[in-house]
Amino acid sequence: KERELNYPVVATDFVLMEDGTGIVHMAPAYGEVDYQAGGDNDLDFVHVVDLQGKMMGSYPFAGKFVKEADPLILDDLKSRGLLFRSEKIRHTYPFCWRCEAPLLYYAKQTWYIKTTAVKESLIAGNKEINWYPEHIKYGRFGDWLENNVDWAFSRERYWGTPLNIWRCESCSKYDCVGSVEELENKSGFTGLREPLDLHRPFVDELTFDCPQCGAKMRRVPEVIDCWFDSGAMPVAQWHYPFDAESKTMLNDGRFPADYICEAVDQTRGWFYSLHA
Ligand SMILES: [Zn+2]
Ligand SMILES: [Zn+2]
């Protein structure tokens, strides 16, 4: 469905006067600064491209891949006397590293851990870490903590630790399941096969009844950022909180980890997820 949109002109600070006209078009659904400016200025948020990168709507170029639609959009503008000038400009662009397909930035919903809620304790905890080399502490790692943003921790891939959230097919109620035992005790639980394997595809067969409406609860399709697994090392190696000997681990000296050694790129990978 199409609706009336607004086309306001807004002032922002990310457009430079050095290049071009100093005016850029904005598409809040297709770029980070555009998205932020859209939120700040209450711009319409509209998707005109689907997840396959094809134009939606009832335009003459609907159904075309965006790059194939480009010349058709220009033709359309020209035929309606709306085109001022058209030219090719060389600039950087993201491509798939495997198949070299051009990629699009695309705003969509995802799962986050609200790390900003514990930002102060992340910063305080960093003061107790001995960093070698020392400049990482308030440099690369400290800066990262100071500029903390919520952790987008779900991934749309097949392999990985499955995100342990089930969603009702009918009323959309969510349930975050914390153990196999909890799952097995759900009313209407079914789909378990021996030997137990909690990865895809097996985990996606595990369903139970929605406590709210009785319809089927299914796992959401996402898996978890692999750095979440890495960061769980201190507790996961003791199978906390499930094994009897693991119960006291948070207070008996086994937590946090004493020592880790890695390359500097891990400040934003393993070091961070371990710390968070
Ligand atoms: Zn590809
Ligand atoms: Zn329900």
Q: Is residue 132 part of a domain?
A: yes
pLDDT digits (tens, 9 = 90+) for 167-193: 999 999 999 999 999 999 999 999 999
Q: Strand 165-168 vs strand 216-219: parallel, antiparallel, or unpaired?
A: antiparallel
CA of 65 to the centre of ligand 1 (A): 15
The DSSP 8-state label assigned to residue 180 in this structure reads: H
Residue 100 belongs to some domain of the structure? no
Q: How confident is the model at residue 234 (pLDDT cuts 50, 70, 90)?
A: very high
Q: What is the ipTM of this complex?
A: 0.83
- Dist. CA 224 → ligand 1 center (Å): 21
CB 250 within 8 A of CB 189: no
Q: Are strands 208-209 and 165-168 parallel, antiparallel or unpaired?
A: unpaired
Asked if 129 and 137 count as a contact pair (C-beta separation under 8 A), the reply is yes
Q: Which ligand is nearest to the CA of 172?
A: 2
Considering every ligand atom, which ligand is closest to the CA of 166? 2
Of the listed ligands, the closest to the CA of 210 is 2
Q: Which residues contact 9 (CB under 8 A, 6 or more apart)?
A: 23
Number of domains in the chain: 2
pLDDT given for residue 1 in this prediction = 47
- pLDDT > 90 in the chain, percent: 83
Residues 132 and 230 grouped into a single domain = yes
In a domain, residue 36? The reply is no
* Residue range of the domain that includes 260: 112-153+225-275
Report the C-alpha gap between 149 and 152 in whole angstroms: 9
The reply to whether 149 and 241 lie within a common domain is: yes
The pair of structure tokens assigned to 8 is: 């306001």
Among all ligands shown, which has an atom nearest to the Cα of 211?
Answer: 2
**Dihedral, CA of residue 182, residue 152, residue 219 and residue 203, to nearest 10:** -80
Residue 245 and residue 205 share a domain: no
Examine the domain organization and report whether 128 and 164 are in the same domain: no
- In this prediction, residues 1-7 reach a mean pLDDT of 71
- Nearest CA to 152 out of 187, 119, 112 is that of 112
Ligand with the closest atom to the CA of 53: 1
Mean pLDDT of the 66-83 span: 95
Inform me whether the pLDDT recorded for 271 exceeds 50: yes
Beta-strand runs (E) in the chain: 112-113, 151-152, 154-155, 165-168, 174-176, 208-209, 216-219, 223-224
Read off the tokens for 109.
Answer: 């919903």
Q: Which residue has the tokens 């020209």?
A: 78
Task: Answer yes or no: is 7 within a domain.
Answer: no
| Residues 162 and 213 occupy one common structural domain | yes
Asked if residue 98 is part of any domain, the answer here is no
| Cα 213 to the center of its chain, rounded Å | 29
141 contacts: CB under 8 Å, gap ≥ 6: 126, 131, 267, 271, 272
Q: What band does 2 get if pLDDT is binned at 50, 70 and 90? A: low
Domain final residue, candidates 224, 245, 262: 224
Asked if 44 and 117 count as a contact pair (C-beta separation under 8 A), the reply is no
Structure tokens at 44: 């319409």
238 and 212 fall within a common domain: no
- Between 23 and 206, residue with greater pLDDT: 206
Single-letter amino acid code for the residue at 153: F
Q: Is the pLDDT of residue 199 over 70?
A: yes
**pLDDT at 123 (0 to 100):** 97
Question: Which residue, 4, 51, 57, is CA-closest to 29?
Answer: 51
Cα-to-centroid distance, 152 and ligand 2 (Å): 26
Q: Which ligand is nearest to the CA of 214?
A: 2
pLDDT at 127 over 90: yes
* φ/ψ of residue 17, rounded to 5: -85, -10
What average pLDDT does the segment 195-224 reach?
Answer: 96
Residue 53 is assigned to a structural domain of this protein: no
Region 138-146: mean pLDDT is 95
Phi, psi of 187 (to 5 degrees): -65, 130
Nearest 5°: CA angle at 101, between 96 and 103? 70
204 shares a domain with 172: yes
Q: Are strands 165-168 and 174-176 parallel, antiparallel or unpaired?
A: antiparallel
What pLDDT was estimated at residue 3? 66
Distance 205 CA to ligand 2 centre (A): 18
Count of residues in the chain? 276
CA of 52 to the centre of ligand 1 (A): 12
What is the model's pLDDT at position 15? 85
Say what the pLDDT of residue 124 is.
Answer: 97
Cβ atoms of 28 and 107 within 8 Å: the answer is yes
Q: Which ligand is nearest to the CA of 102?
A: 1
Q: Is residue 34 part of a domain?
A: no
146 plus 130 within the same structural domain? yes
What distance in angstroms lies between residue 95's CA and the mean position of ligand 1's atoms? 8
Q: Is there a domain that residue 55 lies in?
A: no
